[in-house]
Amino acid sequence: MIAKLHRAGADAFRINMSHGAHADKIPLIEAIRALEKPTGRPTTILFDLQGPKLRVGRFAEPPVMLKTGETFILDRDPTPGDAVRVQLPHPEIFQALTEGARLLLDDGKLTLRVTKVGTDRIETRIEVGGPLSNNKGLNVPDVVVPLAALTEKDRADLSFALEQGADWIALSFVQRPEDVAEARRLIGGKAALLVKIEKPSAIDRLDEILELADAAMVARGDLGVELPPERVPPLQKRIIETARRLGKPVVVATQMLESMIQAPTPTRAEVSDVATAIYDGADAIMLSAESAAGAWPEESVAMMDRIAVSVEADPGYAARIHFTETLPDATTADALSAAAQGIVETVSASGICCFTISGSTARRIARERPSVPLLVMTPRQVTARRLGLLWGAHAVRTRDVASFEEMVAKSKRMVLRHGIGKSGDRVVLMAGVPFGTPGSTNVLHVVRLTGDELKNYTGPEGG
Helices 268-280 and 232-245, axial angle in degrees (round to 10): 30
In the annotation, is 14 catalytic? yes
DSSP three-state, residue 297: helix
Could you give the CA distance from residue 388 to residue 288 in angstroms, rounded to a whole number? 17
> 146: buried, middle or exposed (CB in 10 Å: 19+, 13-18, 0-12)?
exposed
Q: Which of 55, 153, 245, 306 is catalytic?
A: 55
> 161: buried, middle or exposed (CB in 10 Å: 19+, 13-18, 0-12)?
buried
Q: Which of 124, 242, 254, 361 is catalytic?
A: 254
In the annotation, is 267 catalytic? no
Q: Are 226 and 139 in contact (CB under 8 A)?
A: yes
Could you give the CA distance from residue 398 to residue 377 in angstroms, rounded to a whole number? 6
Q: Are 300 and 267 in contact (CB under 8 A)?
A: no
In the annotation, is 254 catalytic? yes
In the annotation, is 184 catalytic? no
- Number of residues that make up the chain: 463
Could you give the CA distance from residue 463 to residue 458 in angstroms, rounded to a whole number? 10
Find the Cα–Cα–Cα–Cα dihedral 175, 179, 181, 183, rounded to 10°. Answer: -130
Q: Which of 196, 363, 410, 412 is catalytic?
A: 196
Q: Are 115 and 97 in contact (CB under 8 A)?
A: no
Hey, which residues are catalytic here? 14, 55, 196, 254
